[in-house]
Amino acid sequence: MGTARWDATDWSAYAASTTHKTTDAVFAARAIDPELNPLGVALRESRDSALNPASTAIIVGLDVTGSMGMIADTLARQGLGTMVEEILARQPVSDPHILIAGIGDVLYDRAPLQVTQFEADIRIARQLEKLWLEKGGGGNACESYTLPWYFAALHTSIDCFEKRGQKGYLFTVGDEEPPADLPAAAIARFLGDRVARDFDSRELLTLVSRQYHIFHVIVEEGSHARHDPHGVRNRWTDLLGQRVISLSDHRKLAEVIVSTIEVNEGRDRDRVIKSWSGKTAVVVRRAVGALQPAPTRNVGVVRF
């Protein structure tokens, strides 16, 4: 997928259509949309095309439990346009193909994972609004942020990596801690894969990191992050190290994602921060102030 090209006019018209709508009106789904259900999905594909000859796969996984629906709502109204248009203008990577995932909890929710297609045009927004904001979750202090890791590792096929040895990007966004593991029973129930055992989160990280740069964005305004800020950050840092991103204002998620990609691709961190103005620069500085570029990648597909 991802054969079309982003048009700013299409986005402006779409964003204007959401102005006077409530969150429930923008996100009208009251159950998982069959098009977003990962059960039985073999692959989500990001393919080069005439309009996007050097595609870059980008997955943005949004926590849709509890009060975290604000993240998807803001992205649908304004953030998505900023994210795509700034990537196209700044070109830290080429031809972005974006897949949006909705994330819940495999122990408590009916739809702990929802996945759009990889798209490059206004269809990103049209599919984003199909997310079911289940607003579930449980009392286990974590959400299933590693479920999209598993899906990305085993159920996506991306030309940026397969043709050019260039990793895609995967961001998860939420306010809770990472889970210790992903149960085999949950993988079977929600994806249809029969596996012999549970997957440890570190094992999943190794698996998905072969094709994707992995980051987690902690939404500091979220109730769990406010209740236990050090605990949330420490547990994520223990798993991801410097690839844990602090988001102090959820309205600036798009700018933070763009800045993270820029720094990871080797751009000067201070210049990236200064490229934004006012409060945005403050939020971006807090988010990427300690981030270092990724190690220089090898050319060609890496075989494991």
When pLDDT is averaged across residues 255-264 and rounded to a whole number, the result is 98
Mean of pLDDT values over 27-33:
97
Give the percent of the chain with pLDDT over 70.
97
List, in order of start, the domains of the chain with CATH numbers. 8-288 (3.40.50.410)
DSSP per-residue codes, 83-135: HHHHHHHH-SSSSEEEEEEEE--TTT-S-SEEE---BSSTHHHHHHTT-----
Tokens 């300690």 -> residue: 290
- Share of residues in the chain with pLDDT > 90 (%): 94
Checking if the pLDDT of 303 tops 80, the result is no
Residue 296 has pLDDT above 60, yes or no: yes
pLDDT over 90 at 157, yes or no = yes
Between CA 281 and CA 256 the distance in angstroms is 9
pLDDT tens per residue across span 214-232: 999 999 999 999 999 999 9
pLDDT digits (tens, 9 = 90+) for 97-133: 999 999 999 999 999 999 999 999 999 999 999 999 9
Query: What is the pLDDT, as a whole number, of residue 299?
Result: 41
- For residue 295, give the DSSP letter: P
Once rounded to an integer, what is the mean pLDDT over residues 136-148?
92
